[in-house]
Amino acid sequence: MTVLEQTPGRDESGARPTPPTAGWRPRTDPAPLLPDETPFRLLGTGARLDKRRKELWRELYRGLVHGRRYNRQATALTRQGRLAVYPSSTGQEGCEVAAALALAEQDWLFPSYRDTLAVVARGVDPVEALTLLRGDWHTGYDPRATRVAPLSTPLATQLPHAVGLAHAARLRGDDVVALAMVGDGGTSEGDFHEALNFAAVWQAPVVFLVQNNGFAISVPLAKQTAAPSIAHKAVGYGVAGRLVDGNDAPAVHQVLGEAVARARAGAGPTLVEALTYRIEAHTNADDATRYRSEEEVAPWLAHDPVALLEAELRQRRLLTDTEAEQIAHEAETMAADLRARMNTDPVLDPEELFAHVYAEPTPQLREQAVLLRGELAADADADAHAEPEPTGGVARETRRAPGSDDHPGDRRQDHQERAA
C-alpha cells in the first residue's frame, strides 16, 4: 500500500489529524535537471578559444571531413555490392566525431547501427568497423581491446549494457565512463526507459547521447513522442537533461565532455539530446522521397556540420587553404585505402560458424561441424574434378548426416565416439 492509499483517521476531538502527505515535497529539485530553453551552441557565438580548444576544433574538423568522406565511400560500396547495407550518418558527423573524441582511452563507447563513424573516429580499423555491414561476421573488431561495444541493431538494447558496464567499473573502483548512443526512435523503446532508470538509481558513470535526426526510418518525431523535448525526458528519471545543436561539433563535444566529466566525478548520468538531421535516406535501401520534401531538407543542408565548422575556422584564421587541401587529401587517401581493402574478397571460414557459440562446442555442434566439413570437402572435391556437376557419388555419401544413423556397426560406433 502506498502512502497515498492510507486512510486518514480522526482523533477523539473529531479534528482531522495531519495527513502524512501534508509535508510532501519532491525528493529532489527538478530545476537543475531541466535542459536549457534553446540548444547549446558555440559556432557563431564568438566564444573565446584558448590554444587547447583551437587545436580541438581543428581536430574535430579533420574528423568531420574524414567522416563525410567515409560515409560517401561506404554508400558507394553498397552500390558496388561490397556492403550489404549502409545506414549513413551524413549530416550527423558532428555528433559521431564529437562522441568519440569526448572519451578517454579507458572509457567505453556503445554505438547503435548508424554509428559506424563514431566507432572509426574512436580508432577502430575502418574495414573492421564495416564487417557487420559487409556480412563476413557480426562484429569485426575486438570490443574488449577497443572498448567499443558491438554496433547494436536491436534499438536501445545497448543502453542497459552501458549502464551495467559503467556500474561494474565503478564497483571495481576503476575510472571508466560509458557513452551510449541512440536515435530519437530508440527513445520509444522500453530499454531506453529502463537504462535511464537504472543509471539514475545506481548513479552509474554513463552518458546517453540521443541523436535526434528527425526520423525513425520514415516516422517523424511528432509521431514518436509528445514530450516537450527528448532532453526533458531525463527529468522524470532524476537525470540531468542537456540540449545541444548536433550540427555544431564543438558544442556537442563540450556538452558531452562536461557530461563525461560529471560521470567521472561520481555525479551520475546525463542525457544529451543533439538536434541534427539525417540527410540521406535511412539506408541505401530506403526511399526518403516517400515521406519528406526537399523543402524540409533544404535548411538542414544549409546547416551542415562540416561547412559550419569550416567557415568558422577560416573566419578565425584557424584553417588555411593549404591545410584544408591537406585534410581533404588525407581523406581521399583514407577512402582509396578503404575502397581497395573492401574490393578484396574477405577470407571466410565456414567452420568458424561453430567456434564461438559456446566456450566449448557442444556434442551436437561438433556433429554439425562434421556434417558441414563433409559438404565442404565434397565441394572441394567437385571443384577439383571440375567437369560436370556432381549429383551423387562421393558427395552424397559424405553428406550423410551424423546422428541420423542407427544401423548397427561401425557408423554408429563412429557417431558415439564423435558425440563423446
To other proteins, the closest distance from the beta carbon of 206 in angstroms equals 9
Coil vs helix vs strand at 360? coil
Taking a C-beta distance cutoff of 8 angstroms, is the pair 223, 185 a contact?
no
- Assess whether 282 carries a catalytic annotation: yes
To other proteins, the closest distance from the beta carbon of 193 in angstroms equals 8
Polymer length in residues for the chain: 420
Q: Which is closer to other proteins, CB of 71 or CB of 158?
A: 158
- Assess whether 291 carries a catalytic annotation: yes
Q: Which is closer to other proteins, CB of 137 or CB of 291?
A: 137
Select which of 291, 339, 411, 418 is catalytic: 291
Phi and psi, residue 342, nearest 5°: -75, -15
List of residues contacting other proteins (CB under 8 A):
137-139, 142-145, 149-150, 154, 157, 159-169, 171-172, 176, 178, 190-191, 194-195, 197-198, 201, 352, 355-359, 362-364, 403-404, 406-408, 415-416, 419-420
To other proteins, the closest distance from the beta carbon of 351 in angstroms equals 13
To other proteins, the closest distance from the beta carbon of 389 in angstroms equals 30
To other proteins, the closest distance from the beta carbon of 79 in angstroms equals 27
Taking a C-beta distance cutoff of 8 angstroms, is the pair 280, 203 a contact?
no
Coil vs helix vs strand at 112? strand
CB-based burial of residue 193 (10 Å sphere; 0-12 exposed, 13-18 middle, 19+ buried)?
Answer: middle
- Assess whether 278 carries a catalytic annotation: yes
Furthest-apart CA atoms within the chain: distance in Å: 107
Q: How far apart are CA 223 and CA 184, in angstroms?
A: 11
Q: Which is closer to other proteins, CB of 192 or CB of 277?
A: 192
Q: How far apart are CA 409 and CA 344, in angstroms?
A: 48
Select which of 147, 242, 282, 415 is catalytic: 282
Q: How far apart are CA 279 and CA 98, in angstroms?
A: 18
Select which of 66, 161, 167, 278 is catalytic: 278
Q: Which is closer to other proteins, CB of 42 or CB of 83?
A: 83
Q: Which is closer to other proteins, CB of 177 or CB of 313?
A: 177
Amino acid at residue number 37: E
Q: Which residues are catalytic?
A: 278, 282, 291
